[in-house]
Amino acid sequence: MAHAQHDTMRRALRREVAGTIGLLADAEDFAAMRRYRSFTFHDHTTYLREVEHLLRTLAAEGKHTTLALFDPEEYEEFCAESGLDPDTSDGRTRFTAELAAAGPTVTYDGRPLSDIVPDLIDETLRRSTVEYAEHLLSDTGRCAHCGEDIGVASFTRAAVLLSRILDTGSPGTQHIVCSVTLDTTPLLGSLHAERTPDGLLDLDETEALEVTTVLAVGIATKSPGGLVQRTTTPDQPDRVHGWRLSGEHLEPLTEAQVFDAYCTDAHTGEPVPPEPGLDYAAAPDLGPYDDPHTH
């Protein structure tokens, strides 16, 4: 009986696969989908186990499969706009195909689903951050004095600053985090880059776009923010630098300021012990920026 039930669930899953699986990673999202009679899954844990079994089966058959987060609210909106009945496997398949075309996805690479889901969530948050930041930049309008597009100018400025920061790093792995606070809402962007001993830089362009866009929002809106760079070099302590966003400029933090920032709990304000083997260093000056416009 149990075997027959599992076969039924697997056939149902296969009907809803469109090269991409729309994954209900959250138990609440799974519960929201249970209001549809055509959604035949009853237990979230069992559902995740069956999805993982399907992924392994498809991989064994040589099929390329990606995963996207399935959001019940977005699904309902999609069906309303498309004139589809949400209580059908066809509606879910078409929505998943839409996710595959326009939404963030990760490729199934054989790892356990529990390891892949955090990457999928991170990628979804990253995409949402960039889209929100781009929306904010597009709404900044034009400079009242010179007529220049503030969003474009701010993005150009941010790109120059990020390039200079990357150039300050020694050979090794650079981890850069940019944060900007809008009212009480923080925007975060992060970037990993590798600089070889001969000076070549390898980075993820999507991550670079995220950091540049977040920094550009801070510049355009004159919001508080900052940027931290951590460089990891073999056989040497990790080194941390930091800059504080001030208008259109990134002001270098001193060694003491970087130490305070790293050794203070961001939520409670209480001191925390310094990280062993970490070198807190003063940040280099990024130099002047020749911009004829002031916003």
The C-alpha atoms of residue 34 and residue 262 are separated, in whole angstroms, by 45
What pLDDT score was predicted for residue 49? Answer: 92
The identity of residue 155, as a single letter, is F
To the nearest 10 degrees (0 to 180), the angle between helices 113-138 and 205-221 is 40
What pLDDT score was predicted for residue 9? Answer: 61
What is the pTM for the complete model shown? 0.71
User: From first to last of its 295 residues, what are the pLDDT tens digits of the chain?
Assistant: 555 555 566 655 555 554 888 999 999 999 999 999 999 888 999 999 999 999 998 888 888 889 999 999 999 999 999 999 999 988 998 998 888 887 788 889 889 999 999 888 888 888 888 888 888 888 877 776 776 778 888 899 999 999 999 888 778 889 998 988 887 678 888 899 998 877 788 888 888 999 999 999 999 989 988 899 998 888 888 889 899 998 888 999 998 888 887 776 655 556 777 778 788 889 988 887 665 444 4
What pLDDT score was predicted for residue 292? Answer: 44
Tokens standing for residue 289: 């920026």
Name 169's Cβ contacts closer than 8 Å, sequence gap at least 6: 193, 195, 229, 231
Q: How many CA atoms lie within 13 A of 126 on its CB side?
A: 23
| Separation in Å, CA 244 to CA 214, 223, 285 | 14, 11, 11
What pLDDT score was predicted for residue 293? Answer: 45
